[in-house]
Chain A
Amino acid sequence: MKKTAVFLNGRLIGFHNDGKALAKRLREKRRMNELSYQVNIYYDNKTNELYIFTDRGRVRRPYIVVEKGKSRLTSAIKERLKKGELTWQHLIKMGIIEYLDAQEEENAYIAMSEEELTEEHTHLELDPSTIFGVVASILPYPEYNSSPRITMGCAMAKQALGTYTTNFANRYDTRAYVMYYPQEPIVQTRVYKHLNLRERAAGQNCVVALASYQGYNMADAIIVNKSAIDRGLHRVVMFRTYETEERSYPGGQKDKIEIPSPDVVGYRGEHAYRHLGEDGIVMPESEVEGKDVLVGKTSPPRFLEEISVFGAVEEKKRESSLALKAGERGKVDSVLITEGQGGNRVIKVRIRSIKVPEIGDKFASRHGQKGVVGILVPQENMPFTESGIIPDLIVNTHAIPSRMTAGHLLEMLGGKMGAIGGMFADATAFSGDKEEQFKEVLRKNGFDEYGEEVLYDGITGRRLKAKIFVGVIYYQRLHHLVSNKMHVRSRGPVQLLTHQPTEGRAREGGLRFGEMERDCLIGYGASMLIKERLLEESDKTRVFICPECGEAATPDYVQNKSYCRLSKTDKGEPVEMSYAFKLLLDEIRSLCIFPRIELKEKG
């Protein structure tokens, strides 16, 4: 037989007569804790090569070791585990649990459950639900949902607002959200507990009715009980930290944090500095908004020449204060004064603002069922059940059939059972609580076993004709809040280079009227409208052109004339054009091409 090549971390270290036997022996040694449990051995049958891996960066996951069709995790050991005599680490040392990497998995034959074990099996999964990653194992009842919705559920769980960390009060994150009354889900998976997520919950259990009501929840919108929101449902605080540094410049000059004096270049007016204390920093708990200054700061002039012209004495300082972003408001939560990298004074100001749910905020359950708030309804107008329960949310029934998220319905039922029976429901993948359990508890407590309720219209008081499915389900508020996205502009800043409106919300910009939009107006023949969008409302300028040579003429606004230095005349005519075109002409001139403009009477 050919000798087996043995590789250690990908490097050939030697040959062995029987690679298979060597692999077996090495594994035995690992299970006897003579080799580190982090070592993985892989034997390639096709090429007769043995790979041993000890290096870092391999993805590994744990399995129960199986011997002769018997799990090494015997009932005796399970007993000792329950008593607390053994820990996970013990199991690894005893060779009951071992970690396999992607390579060694190729040599393993793994059973999903203990029942299906045969002689050939080498390993046993801890639990079928461990095939999911961290995020997916938190989703309840994934086996009842369609896979795209699970993917979306995973993506959105990461956007949920909650308690992102427990020490948020001591942190100065540039942006952070903390929920007012986070709740642990009633319907949860076993992994949820193990990940300690109950201390970092990101959502609340809501009473949800599956119905259409007044049509305000069409196309994935959600009707929300306004009174519930007033009581603090899904209320969130947003922290934003503003930061500035007292920088020192070459030449011994330094920024100064102070209340700028009115003679400073770029002074913002007394009003803007009204919240500043004597030291030039805002007072905590003051209410700030708009472009209010948080830290007053002055900097030395940018160019040294400015000083020398007037004989060095007069030093014009520049205003460089730190101000709140336009359109934001909140209270000053706290101020931190520290030292930065260069030994400069750094000031951090944390602003706190309360984000109460409003129309347009995004919510989602853990089944990829997302939607925005369509309307807030006072509770007296909401439908109510026989026992007087008023739902927090009304979700449209059309959201369910085409998405095939049966898990959503099951969670509602489970949540209802939990809320009535005072218990949690287990929704772990493949082995969670079954529908029958929920039904039984509901029935015993005098509820409809299918979760349906007779509802009464809050406005008319009449009974609704259909029975409505009402349940309790965990809903998350996602960090797409309208208040952080809302944006309008009618006039505003323009760019320096092109004189066209700026772009983006942060710069108070306009929305681009693009090429395709332009094409539509051309197709419609709306010539004047194009001119208005692309010229009048954008970068219209007036340029004086010499009618004789076609070159730009120099305007003299005092004498109301314009001169052309080329043809030595003063007959320049004002011509309207886009500033971008003027810029183009300038750039063409810089290419040493002389563009002439021939003027004609318009008519």
Chain B
Amino acid sequence: MLIQRDNMKKKLKIAPYEAVGVVSAQSIGEPGTQMTMRTFHYAGVAEHVPTGLPRLIEIVDAKKEPKKPLIDVYLKKEYAKSREKAEKVAEEISAVYLEDVAEVLDDLESYSIEIAFDKKEGEAQKVSFKDLKEKVEKALEKNAKIKAEGEKIKIKFDKKEKGVNAKYVRKQSQKLKQLLLKGVDGVYKAVVTKEGDEYFVRAGGYNIVGVISHPAVDPSRIYTNNIKEIERVFGIEAARNAILKEIKDVLDMQGLYVDIRHIMLVADAMTYSGAIQSIGRHGLSGSKVGVLGRAAFEETIKHLINAAAKGEEDKLIGVTENIIVGQTVPVGTGKVKLKFMPR
């Protein structure tokens, strides 16, 4: 049995100097050509989440933020079993901003800001006028005079004070509009979804740290499609796994099968340096060692001029460089040398 396994291992082992990169690129690229046309539509939060080619490009380009960031919040056991409890969590983590429940008007002549509370909206979002008032008071610097009248808050700034001018007032009013009243900053449209017999919350946004601090949330299973955020919070290894999962999800959704090892190679290539690199002129291809290789890809003249200025040397390590020069390529049979050994 062991011998058999060892033989198997040998068989599966990739030969030295096999051009794995090209094979991976072709293996992902070929089914990729069939992907472009079909796009699916969903109802609910997942609406217009890029899938297929656009999403693939997003991942590979290492975008700071996906077009539609999503966060999957899994709950601790005692909350995950009932829909009501899960819905409560969803409501608690959804961010409510002052803008959502009140109207903010600034008067640049009298240096004052008026906040008109919308009771109907407030009830819907479960925010009381009292909460709002407290938050506003906390948010403002001491120089402002705050007066509450019924459902309205009036804020007046002292003209004589240093640094107080129309620009300052406008800035303050803009800041107030974005004042977080409730929930986790950046999380919106939280919806309870069922997976198996477990309820979890799917929401827009990617504030992992904020969501984890909610007591009902299981911190070990939280997930977002924002790979950069995963890298920031959990580190590069997690990011590598996230890239792997995201690419695989895109391909699976289209019903395409690509061997996982090809995708792993892409994920590894994007993360081996310790930070996420995009595949393109600003990332992987831009950090090729050879001048000629980089010049052959994009921005030819820029690379040549810079190389000349620095007096760079091309050691002809890459494939492209050797093709340009007219030598055998250092892959496959090109790397194998024969030596004669007299007995």
Contacts and interface: CB of A to CB of B under 8 A. Distances in A.
Interface of A: 518-520, 522-528, 530-531, 534-535, 540, 576-578, 580-581, 584, 588, 591, 593-594, 598, 603
A528 B304 contact: no
Contacts of B304: 588, 591, 593
B326 A519 contact: no
Contacts of A576: 326
Contact of B324 (A527, A531, A584, A591): A584
Contacts of B330: 527
Contacts of A525: 17-19, 331-334
Contact of A531 (B25, B26, B326, B335): B326
B83 to A, nearest CB: 50
Given A522-B319, A523-B19, A528 B333 contact: yes
A341 B168 CA distance: 79
A527 B331 contact: yes
Interface residues of B, number: 27
Contact of A534 (B301, B313, B326): B326
Contacts of A530: 323, 328-329
B289 interface: no
Contacts of A520: 26
B308 interface: yes
Contacts of A581: 324-326
Contacts of B301: 591
Interface in B277-333: 301, 304-305, 308, 313, 319, 323-333
Nearest to B308: A593
A472 to B, nearest CB: 42
A582 to B, nearest CB: 9
A593 B329 contact: no
Contacts of B305: 591, 593
Given A519-B26, A588-B304, A593-B304, A524 B332 contact: yes
Contacts, number: 70
B23 interface: yes
B22 interface: yes
Contact of A527 (B25, B26, B329): B329
A519 B332 contact: no
A598 B312 CA distance: 13
Contacts of A540: 326
A528 B328 contact: yes
14 contacts: A519-B22, A525-B18, A525-B331, A526-B332, A526-B333, A527-B332, A527-B334, A528-B333, A531-B326, A534-B323, A540-B326, A577-B325, A578-B324, A588-B304
A531 B331 contact: no
Which 7 pairs across A and B sit closest by C-beta, in order of nearness?
A525-B332, A527-B334, A578-B326, A593-B308, A523-B22, A535-B326, A577-B326
Contacts of B308: 591, 593-594
Contacts of B333: 525-528
A522 B333 CA distance: 10
Contacts of A518: 323
Given A522-B19, A588-B304, A528 B325 contact: no
Contacts of A527: 328-335
A63 to B, nearest CB: 41
A598 B301 CA distance: 22
A528 B25 CA distance: 22
Contacts of A531: 326-329
A523 B326 contact: no
A397 B339 CA distance: 61
Given A588-B304, A591-B304, A593-B305, A522 B331 contact: yes
Given A522-B22, A525-B332, A528-B328, 15 more contacts: A518-B323, A523-B19, A523-B22, A523-B26, A524-B19, A525-B19, A527-B328, A527-B329, A530-B329, A531-B329, A534-B323, A578-B324, A580-B324, A584-B324, A591-B308
A519 B26 CA distance: 9
B258 to A, nearest CB: 15
A530 B329 CA distance: 8
Contacts of B17: 525
A540 B22 CA distance: 26
B23 A523 contact: yes
A129 to B, nearest CB: 36
Nearest to A576: B326
Interface string B74-104: 0000000000000000000000000000000
A270 B330 CA distance: 53
Nearest to A530: B329
Nearest to A584: B324
Contacts of A523: 19, 22-23, 26
Nearest to B291: A595
Nearest to A519: B22
Nearest to B20: A523
